[in-house]
Amino acid sequence: MKQPPGVSRFGSVADDLTKILLQKNGLEGAVNIREFDGTAEVGIAFRQRQIAARSSPTCASMPRRGSSVREGFIDQLYKKR
């Protein structure tokens, strides 16, 4: 089973961005988004590999040079670890 993306709160900007990115890539409804208590918890879960990706204004992992944020997010979500 693929790991889900994580967000700090349902209804947050990160949640909305995640849903938009999933929708634009044809993954809406195919992926369950996991909610955490805050941005710090999302970061910890990402570092501990409990989630596959995160979208956050304080996201430390930036996409590759020359790629878009959307491509970086989708790459994080589905790359092999």
Q: What is the pLDDT of residue 81?
A: 43
Q: Is the pLDDT of residue 63 over 60?
A: no
pLDDT tens profile 35-58: 998 888 888 898 898 998 887 655
- Strand pairing class (5-7; 34-35): parallel
The pTM for the full model equals 0.64
Helix (H, G, I), strand (E, B) or coil at 34: strand
Domain ranges of the chain: 5-78
Helix axes 13-24, 69-78, angle to 10 degrees: 80
